[in-house]
Amino acid sequence: PVVLKEAFQGRFYIGTALNLDQIWERDGEAIALVQQQFNSIVAENCMKSMYLQPREGEFNFTDADRFVAFGQKHDMHLVGHTLIWHSQAPRWFFSDENGKDVSRDVLIARMRSHIHKVVSRYKGKIAGWDVVNEAVLDNGEYRKSKFYQIIGEDFIPLAFQFAHEADPDAELYYNDYSTAIPAKRDGIVKVVKSIQERGIPIHGIGMQEHQGLYHPELDEIEKTILAFSSTGAKVMVTELDVSVLPHARENQGAEISETYAYKNELNPYVDGLPDSVMNKLGERYVNFFKVYLKHSDKISRVTLWGVGDQYSWKNGWPIPGRTDYPLLFDRNFKPKPFVQDIVSLA
Ligand code: XIL
């Protein structure tokens, strides 16, 4: 039988995101697979700020504590996701009691207290944190998030500084998607250098790798690995999945709400995945892992964004109710045919 963590031993950690049923061990088959195959875990949602601090000063660590206890029990490399992100952040974070934006000082103080509270709770247990998520746009500019609008670009080094204060031994990561786009790649490298120039540590850059069957080109991914690594940071693949479905945007620019009319067109594999598509998916995955293994001196971890197809967010995003096949294990917890090929590369 294939065992991913044995195959990639000495090359990089191989990880998966866990949902709440898995964290609470209500899903025995999934948990058995996690223990058998993976040596790193990240929480898919429960460590995001809207869950950890739903109201100011009111923290809820129930699920996150359980995630950490599960990882420790199974001797896993634990990744915390994510401290500062414009999405899945509670609205109060940016607003005063009248719903107006808070001042720069107030937002910095809220960032500090959130990061200090969360990181110090798991000091010595969480090996690395996605400190800032998705702060750069595809054109390389800063995303005009509330953090950016209210604080300016300093919010990024400040977040890393606060995390470092709370756990000086934890690794600290910047994480983003579509990192193979040249302008975005360059933008991220600039952000990383701006952190380093202030003497604040950053240990890793995460490439999310939510991919499709055709884009991006492999050589652009490789260029990104080299560019990120040239900063001195480790590179990691943090949220790997490969959707086999057409993206909503490909549907003549239709708004997502309009795409329901095209549901069949956009959900072509409800009855199963044809061999031809499975082969294409396999080819894509094999090519990705070839690149990761070629650069395994630079890549410290490859994490899949889910244990198996039935749990993937891609069944619900960007269009709800689709049937996607983006992961390594199928809906019966069986490795897909090409997983053997991936393992044989190592
Ligand atoms: C996704 C989760 O998988 C979904 O369950 C949730 O509804 C939305 O967030 N980039 C990230 C992840 O950094 O946190 C996102 O996870 C996927 C995109």
Model confidence at 318, pLDDT cuts 50, 70, 90, reads: confident
Q: Which domain holds residue 95?
A: 4-345
Residues in contact with ligand 1 (CB, 6 Å cut-off): 44-45, 133, 208, 239, 313
Give the 3-state secondary structure of residue 215. Answer: coil
Work out whether the CA dihedral 25, 31, 32, 38 comes out positive or negative: negative
Closest protein CA for atom 9 of ligand 1: 45
Instruction: Tell me the percentage of the chain whose pLDDT exceeds 70.
Output: 95
User: What is the domain count for the chain?
Assistant: 1
Q: Which of 208, 313, 324 to mutate to test the pocket of ligand 1 (most atoms within 8 A of CB)?
A: 313
Q: Is residue 29 flagged as an active site residue?
A: no
**Tens of pLDDT along 195-229?**
999 999 999 999 999 999 998 999 999 999 999 99
Atom of ligand 1 nearest to the CA of 313: 3
Distance from C-alpha of 285 to C-alpha of 341, rounded to nearest angstrom: 9
Domain with 264 in it: what CATH number? 3.20.20.80
Cα(197) to centroid(ligand 1), Å: 31
Q: What is the pLDDT of residue 246?
A: 82
The ipTM value here is 0.99
Atom of ligand 1 nearest to the CA of 306: 3
Would you say 81 and 45 are in contact if contact means Cβ atoms under 8 Å apart? no
Q: Is residue 258 flagged as an active site residue?
A: no
Work out the number of other CB atoms within 10 angstroms of the CB of residue 247. 12
